[in-house]
Amino acid sequence: METGSSGILNEFRQGNVDAFESLFRLHQRAVYSWILRIVRNPAAAEDLTVETFWRIHQAHARFQPSHGFEGWARRIATHAAFDWLRAARHESELPAELAAPATADPAISAEIRVKTAMAFSRLPPRLRIAAILAVVEEQSHKDVAAALGISVAAVKLRVFRALRLLRKDLLLQGITP
């Protein structure tokens, strides 16, 4: 999703509010959806979308039009969502209407799913954010790395550590994945 208009990007960089509104209208859905994937809470995702665009506006002078807007906005959105995850312990419960069509594995009981979600919410936020994007949302390691501002190797390591800690927590509860 590129804006295709370097004029708007340059005007935004100069601090033009109309150009900023154009970029907001063009990208708010993508930013909101990305944040929702991380925080899994529609009300929080709306607030964080506002926070993200505020941060974007604050940083307009540092924006590089040649690097494109979407990736930059996504990175700022990821940091805003990460700050939210870090601020408090939040469950990763997704409202039923937002979830993908149920293809529940009958071998995995509802109780195990709930305990897994609870154990996942206890992981350190930096591991949780990498795992939710790479494993649950199946984003490429390259995209996750760009959003988090870390290397692909670091993403793989965080996902590995998240899964290992999650498995350890479940084993302690008597659940053998």
Partner 1 sequence: MNENDRDQMKKLLQQALPPVEGEREPGRDLWPAVLRRLDAGPAAPPWFDWALGAGLLGLAAFFPASIPVLLYYL
Element (H, E) at 77: helix 70-87
Among 3, 69, 120, 145, binds partner 1 (CB under 8 A): 120
Among 44, 94, 150, 152, binds partner 1 (CB under 8 A): 94
Please give the Cα distance from 175 to 177 (Å, whole number). 6
Please give the Cα distance from 23 to 17 (Å, whole number). 10
Among 46, 68, 79, 90, binds partner 1 (CB under 8 A): 46
Residue 122 CB partners (closer than 8 Å, separation 6+): 89, 169
Q: Which is nearer to partner 1, 57 or 75 (CB)?
A: 57
Q: Is the dihedral of CA 5, 139, 127, 94 positive or negative?
A: positive
Q: Is the dihedral of CA 16, 18, 22, 25 positive or negative?
A: positive
Residue 111 binds partner 1 (CB under 8 A):
no
- Per-residue binding string, partner 1, 134-163, x by CB under 8 A, is -xxxx---------------------x--x
CB of 153 to partner 1, least distance (A): 16
Please give the Cα distance from 92 to 85 (Å, whole number). 10
CB of 164 to partner 1, least distance (A): 5
Among 4, 100, 172, 174, binds partner 1 (CB under 8 A): 100
Please give the Cα distance from 155 to 34 (Å, whole number). 17
Please name the amino acid found at residue 63. F
Residue 63 binds partner 1 (CB under 8 A):
no
Contact residues: partner 1, CB under 8 A: 21, 24-25, 28-30, 32-33, 36-37, 40, 42, 45-46, 49-51, 53-54, 57-58, 92, 94, 98-102, 104-105, 108, 112-114, 116-117, 120, 124, 126, 131-132, 135-138, 160, 163-164, 166-167, 170, 177
